Structure 1
Amino acid sequence: MTVEAEVALRARNVHQAYGKHRVLRGADLTVRRGELAAVVGENGAGKSTLLTALAGIRPPDRGEVDVRGRLGYCPQEPVLSHSLTAAQHLRYFAAAYRLSGVDRGLELLRALNSERYLDTSVAEMSGGTRQKLNLALALLHDPDVLLLDEPYQGFDWETYLHFWDLVQDLRDRGKAIVVITHLVFEQERFDQLAELADGRIHPRTRTSEDARVHA
């Protein structure tokens, strides 16, 4: 397999603006199969805008995005119906993905220690539990490229560790994963660290500062 064939996601010269406000000004990103990349940025840097461009939700004003394989997108704010249970969400999403069943979803909720909430409505769930369901739905169809926006926000420590076990399994199976976050606690987990600043993505130097836990 050639190096080019291993590329799962490539963004070139991506520009995005809201009116006269230019958010992305030529962002470039390449992620290969089995690679975990973090894009770090301050609030307002354009991280979510970048992710929606990569996901094709709002195509870039200029530039190109190439995703090779099935795409999974987990937004920071869960897109869930408060009146439906976790089990109902799994069934509806499985139907949308034309899956034969929800076994994968049950496996994911089990891995995230959330299977007991299957018959709980979203309205009754905590923010962390909603985020777990949000992640399970993004992974339900076994995507080749996974885009995660602040994925472990609201997780307790045990679930945080389960999340990384799940990510490691995905990497081992050749999935390409992009995590958008404002802070990286454990740099050694990532194959690629980048920073979104001034509308562009810059390689980020690994420092001890990122590993510090902030109150």
Structure 2
Amino acid sequence: MNHDGWLSALAQELRRRGVGGDAVRQVVAEAAVHLRESGGDPARVFGAPGTYAAAVAESVGRPPRRPGEVLLHACGITKKYGRHTVLRDVDLVVRSGQIAAVIGANGCGKSTLLSICAGITGADKGEVRVRGSLGYCPQDGGTADFLDADEHFVLVGAGRGMTREESARIGSARAAALDWAPGRGRQARHLSGGTRQKLNLVLAGLGEPDVLLLDEPYQGFDKGTYLDFWHQVWEWREAGKAIVVVTHLLNQLDRVDTVLELSPVRKAAA
């Protein structure tokens, strides 16, 4: 089946499963981009239209699950670098089964807020409470130059109570879901920026943490990989996790449950 025929069959299957018209158009458009970018056979990339439509319907074709208990609560976060205030009295509450987007102009403290929530950067004022375990995908860094992907999986997995075999198996499966086959022995320093972000994203999800902090996790991804990323995020939401995604792409806000918009902190009047 060619691309157009597969996409048409996908749309029919989605409608048959009760997926709304807007969601059908969005899913088909994203699948078309993925196929165009990958150039692959639709059956190999996605499987049969009915099988793929069933998986999509589970994540986007029904109302999101009702949010549960609060898993992340950042209250009154203030951070200064020298005389420059980056964040002032910022609050963020994310519940189980909820995706929160953090948006705002460059320099307004999005990455700093996530780093504070992850416990990497200290706040000058305020408190962060996390219920359960936490996974963090930074915008920069996060990988060790002289380790390959499997070594990263084993190292991070060990810190989360996973066996060597389990870490390698799950890490490789999560990488494959992002259209990446890690090469054994290929050190992280030789990976492209986009592939390093795929590695960071896989590491963030190892051990099934309760809270996931994702700082522009798709930096360097090709357009087709966005679909894979958002399906992973929707699966995490359905599993009852709390997810925070820093993004500057405002057209993605219909995919999340709550939005925190940060603005540059203005100097107080003298």
- TM class by smaller structure: 0.7 to 0.9
Give the secondary structure class of the aligned counterpart of 2:251: coil
SS state of the match for residue 186, structure 1? Answer: helix
Shift of 1:123: 2.4
Residue 185 of structure 1: CA displacement? 2.4
TM-score (norm 1): 0.86
Pairing 1:189–2:252 present: no
| CA separation of 1:4 and 1:66: change in aligned 2, threshold 3 A | farther
Given the alignment of the two structures, is residue 18 of structure 1 paired with residue 81 of structure 2, yes or no?
A: yes
Aligned to 2:194: 128
Counting strand residues as a fraction of each chain, which structure ranks higher?
1
Gaps of at least 5 residues in structure 2 are 1-65
Residue in 2 aligned with 1:57?
120
Corresponding pairs, count = 198
Q: Of 106, 111, 120, which aligns to 2:172?
A: 106
C-alpha change, 1:5 and 1:170, in structure 2 (3 Å) is closer
Secondary structure of 2:158's counterpart equals: helix
Please give the per-residue CA displacement for 1:66-90, whole angstroms capped at 9, x wherever unaligned.
1111011110013212222111111
Partner residue, 1:177: 243
Deviation at 1:107, TM superposition (A): 2.0
Letter of the 1:184 counterpart: L
Q: Which has the higher helix share?
A: 2
Inter-partner Cα distance in structure 2 for 1:56 and 1:4: 24
Which residue of the partner structure matches residue 203 of structure 1? Answer: none
| Distance change in 2, residues 1:6/1:21 (3 Å) | same
Superposed CA RMSD in Å reads: 1.9
Q: Distance in 2 between matches of 1:26 and 1:198?
A: 12
The secondary structure found in structure 2 opposite 1:73 is strand
Q: Provide the rounded CA distance (Å) in 2 between the counterparts of 1:118 and 1:185.
A: 37
Shift of 1:187: 1.9
Q: Whose radius of gyration is greater, 1 or 2?
A: 2
Deviation at 1:98, TM superposition (A): 2.7
Query: 2: CA distance between counterparts of 1:82 and 1:58?
Result: 22
Between 1:79-88 and 1:64-73, the stretch displaced more is 79-88
1:9 to 69, 72, 78: 72
Q: How far apart are residue 5 of structure 1 and its match?
A: 6.3
Shift of 1:33: 0.6
Give the Å deviation of 1:193.
1.7
Alpha-carbon distance in structure 2 between the residues aligned to 1:67 and 1:120: 35
| Residue matched to 1:67 | 130
CA distance in structure 2 between the partners assigned to 1:54 and 1:188 by the alignment: 24
Given that residues 41 and 183 in structure 1 are in contact (C-alpha distance below 8 angstroms), is that contact kept between their aligned partners in structure 2?
A: no
- Paired with 1:18 and 1:116, the residues of 2 have a C-alpha distance of 38
List structure 1 runs of 4+ shifted beyond 4 angstroms.
none
CA distance in 1, matches of 2:186, 2:264: 43
Is structure 2 residue 96 aligned with structure 1 residue 33? yes
> Does 2:143 match 1:80?
yes
- Aligned residue for 1:209? none
Equivalences for residues 189-208 of structure 1 within 5 A? 189-199=255-265
RCO (CA 8 Å, sep 6+): is it higher in 1 or 2? Answer: 1
Q: Does 1:93 align with 2:156?
A: yes
